[in-house]
Structure 1
Amino acid sequence: MGAIGSVRFGRYAVPLDRPVSDAKVATGRQRPLSQIDVLTCEITTADGLEGLGFSYTTRAGTPAQYAHAKEVGENLLGEDPSDIGRVYERLLWAGASVGRSGVAAQALAAIDVALWDLKAKRAGLPLAKLLGSYRDSVRVYNTSGGYLQAPIEEVKEKAERSLAGGIGGIKVKVGQPDMREDLRRLAAVREHLGEGVPLMVDANQQWDRASALRFGRAVEELGLVWIEEPLDAYDAEGHAQLAAALDTPIATGEMLSSVAGLVRMIDLRAADFLQPDVPRVGGITPYLKVAALADHACLQVAPHFVMEIHVHLAAAYPRDSWVEHIEWLSPLFEERPEIADGRMLVPDRPGLGLTLAAHARDWRLDGVLLGGG
């Protein structure tokens, strides 16, 4: 088996078709989102095998991820890429003084994903098959059509288009300063789609505990699949209280960037649907630890964003999961996910089944090659 001969990191800014706004924008905490910043990692072995991984941020942070990845990346050279656990630990210790969460973990995520992609390619298997899949497709819902800047008629039109294209569920954003407007928009979407369509809402951490409880009680009759991030992402106790008080399931966890943070959510039963995010939590290696504990606790898992990675991990989770369809990163890759009958098909190509698109270079801001010379 060939040792790691070179590592290439790249930093990209992938533009959105138009800016989008959620509750954080509606309440003045953030500006509209206009691009996704991506850190890529391409690992090449001495025998010519390649692995591709990536991380991302939705606003500030990618330059810091890139800087940390470059600093610890030299530790990869000469290592056996199949020894993912040992390599990951070495990288953690290389950056031990900055901890095991946040920017440091997210920099390692791109490397870790590339190592898993490489390992699955070496085995000639899709990543899901390497991990041990339970199914060849996973339930999929769309988020990108339900943002707050869109008039309600546009939200309904996009939801209808998503369902016609094979998507299985629809998520809409809530959390505006006037909760009554949220309820009006949500009622209009439910009436338009009918009772049989799975419908989720996402408040993006907008409410305090009392407001979240009031909203949850007001929408019980709508039969929502879940209410997502009703509270501050780090309020584990509040989410646990809410989950116990409402019939509608609670979903959260996407913002947590450490295994410890997600384990606390599991221990407190703070979510019915746990939403870990591979690039945010530090890669596939820590994600698998969280998933094992979530399954032990009999929780559903609905990983956040990056469907290109999460379709594999959802297929390898014992309970039938949801994957989030947001097409913002699709232009970065040559391949597109296959969706039919409410489900996303697991790619049958080795590894993640992804290659960087030729035109991605137009969005490249920086890059460095370690080794290879």
Structure 2
Amino acid sequence: MSTLALATPTDTATVDRITRVRLSSVTLPLPTPISDAKVLTGRQKAMTEVAMLFAEISTEAGLEGVGFSYSKRAGGPGQFAHAREIAPVLIGEDPSDIAKIWDKLVWAGASVGRSGLSVQAIAAFDVALWDLKAKRAGLPLAKLLGSHRDSVRTYNTSGGFLHSPIEEVLERAEASLASGIQGIKIKVGHPDNAVDLARVTAVRERIGDAPLMVDANQQWDRATARRMCRAFEPLNLVWIEEPLDAYDNEGHAMLASTFDTPIATGEMLASVGEHAELIRVGGADIVQPDAPRVGGITQFLKVMALADARHLQLAPHFAMEIHIHLAAAYPREPWVEHFEWLDPLFDEHLEIAGGRMHVSSRPGLGVTISEQARRWTVATHDERP
């Protein structure tokens, strides 16, 4: 006879309550101004900093979850202000009820919409709740979600911006591969298409058969995108990213059905609904959701399910500290984008070896906020009962 104890109707599940929410607005300076095609075409200014929104959620049981969202060029103060206004919604809630809390947060600020800045503020709370839940279980987040692998293919973007001379791009590409990163992505979308073709050809020649991707950052019209996709076909690219405006689903679908080189997009979409429409019309071979931009992990998992149902590849945008766990839980072999920009914000760093980024064995996301991040803090808010 089994000696295992069976649960009875009188057993009580563990219930915890949120007792404190601490918000921090952190300005992360970049070592050099960053320029992609949007800068060269005059649509945006060079990027000199990243605005980070951190949420630290504490409970009666003494647990703490850490989450973050971010904004580039503008929007950081707005995210912080919105998060501060809706933070009282969390107090007294059971932190395990993540989907319920997400709905309460989004409806608390629904008059400003259910996408964009409002859900990007919610993302910091949502990620913190998932971090806390995994810590309660004593598991890395990937394991809590149900991982398919312990490491994910990784590619580097930060050495291939358009402001960098081609020799610098080539040197950084070689250094990235030597450091254990598997693939290289460089920016395209230069006003002179011949410059793009020359730069990409030079990188292909330098790195040989290593995986190579390009990113146009939405800067081509449909005619230019067709010409450039055709010109890039012989270079055996892993993908061509954001060749068109992020909301031109039909245009992206046309490119995806015409050319052999896969089309990747999705990073600028700010809701599950926007991703659902992109996927429905066949606008991407490779979907690139961004957890902070779609409202956190709760919403990202819905996008993952939609992509998997259509047998699509996944390559999450930015925020590798979050996305390594989500990519590890995707059924199809994904890619994760490597950016070292956020390294100073955390005490721990991800291991990269053999072309792959490895999931941390630490519980939760596996990161803690550094003292340097505390020094870069420009505003805080402490919500208690």
Shared fold per TM-score greater than 0.5: yes
Aligned pair partner of 1:141 in 127, 152, 155: 155
Query: Aligned residue for 1:45?
Result: 59
Paired amino acid for 1:62: G
CA RMSD of aligned residues (A): 0.7
Alpha-carbon shift at residue 337 of structure 1 (Å): 0.7
CA distance in 1, matches of 2:73, 2:295: 18
1:201 aligns with 2:217: no
> Residues 25-62 of structure 1, C-alpha deviation per residue, up to 9 Å, x if partnerless?
01111111111110000000012100000000111111
Partner of 2:328: 315
Residue 329 of structure 1 is matched in structure 2 by: 342
Q: Residue type of the partner of 1:118?
A: L
Match of 1:358? 371
Map 1:160-179 → 2, pairs under 5 A: 160-179=174-193
CA distance in 1 between partners of 2:104 and 2:110 (Å): 10
Which amino acid is the alignment partner of residue 376 of structure 2?
Answer: W
Which stretches of structure 1, 4 residues or longer, exceed 3 Å deviation after superposition? none
CA contact (8 A) 1:13 1:37 kept: yes
Which residue does 2:4 correspond to in 1? none
CA distance in 2, matches of 1:336, 1:18: 21
CA distance, structure 2, for counterparts of residue 146 and residue 351 of structure 1: 31
Q: Out of 79, 89, 113, which is 2:127 matched to?
A: 113
Aligned residue number for residue 154 of structure 1: 168
Distance 2:251 2:213 in 1: 20
Q: Find out whether 1:290 has 2:280 as its counterpart.
A: no
Equivalent residue, structure 2, for 1:248: 261
- Once residues 90 and 333 of structure 1 are traced to their aligned partners in structure 2, the CA distance between those partners, rounded to angstroms, is 29
Structure 2 match to 1:223: 236
Equivalent of 1:78 in 92, 104, 110: 92
Report the Cα distance in structure 1 between the residues aligned to 2:252 and 2:16, rounded to whole angstroms: 47
Aligned length: 371
Instruction: Note the alpha carbon deviations across 1:145-164, whole angstroms, 9 max, x for none.
Output: 00011110100100110001
Identity of matched residues, %: 64
1:237-289 deviations in Å (ceiling 9; x for gaps): 10001111111000000000011110011101100000000000110001100
What code does the residue aligned with 1:294 have? A
Please give the secondary structure, in 1, of the residue aligned with 2:19.
Answer: strand
Secondary structure (helix, strand or coil) at the match of 1:328 reads coil
**Alignment deviations for residues 310-346 of structure 1 (CA, whole Å, 9 cap, x no partner):** 0000000000100000111111000111000100000
Residue 341 of structure 2: SS of its match in structure 1?
helix
Q: Partner residue of 2:317?
A: 304
Supply the AA of the counterpart residue of 1:293: L
How far residue 98 of structure 1 moved from its aligned partner, in angstroms, is 1.4
Letter in structure 2 aligned against 1:207:
W
Structure 2 letter corresponding to 1:186:
V
Amino acid at match of 2:132: L
2:112 corresponds in structure 1 to: 98
User: Normalising by structure 2, what TM-score?
Assistant: 0.96
Would you say the 8 A contact 1:253–1:276 is kept in 2?
A: yes
Equivalent residue letter for 1:335: E
Q: Give the Cα separation in 2 of the matches to 1:363 and 1:31.
A: 22
Match of 2:361, SS? coil
Q: Does the Cα contact within 8 Å between 1:301 and 1:322 map onto a contact in 2?
A: yes
How far did 1:2 drift? 2.5
* 1:53 aligned counterpart, secondary structure: strand
Does residue 212 (structure 1) correspond to residue 225 (structure 2)? The answer is yes
In the alignment, what sits opposite 2:271? 258
Aligned to 1:170, the other structure's residue is in SS state strand
Paired with 2:47 and 2:76, the residues of 1 have a C-alpha distance of 15
Distance 2:373 2:113 in 1: 32
Equivalent residues of 1:36, 1:329 under 8 A apart: no
Structure 1 partner of 2:20? 6
Matched with 2:248 is 235
Query: Structure 2 counterpart of 1:114, which letter?
Result: A
Query: TM-score with structure 1 length normalisation?
Result: 0.99
Alignment of 1:130 with 2:130, yes or no, is no
Query: Given residue 186 of structure 2, which amino acid in structure 1 is its aligned partner?
Result: V
1:56 aligns with 2:70: yes
Describe the SS at the equivalent of 1:175: coil
For residue 269 of structure 2, give the secondary structure of its aligned residue in structure 1: coil
Q: Which has the larger radius of gyration?
A: 2
Q: For the residues of structure 2 that align with 1:117 and 1:99, how far apart are their CA atoms?
A: 26
Distance 1:36 1:323 in 2: 20
Q: Distance in 1 between matches of 2:260 and 2:368?
A: 43
CA contact (8 A) 1:250 1:272 kept: yes
Unaligned runs of 5+ in 1: none
Alpha-carbon distance in 1 for matches of 2:80, 2:136 = 27
* Residue identity opposite 2:309 in structure 1: H
User: Aligned residue for 2:8?
Assistant: none
Structure 2 unaligned regions, length at least 5: 1-14
SS in 1 for 2:342: helix
Q: Does 1:276 align with 2:289?
A: yes
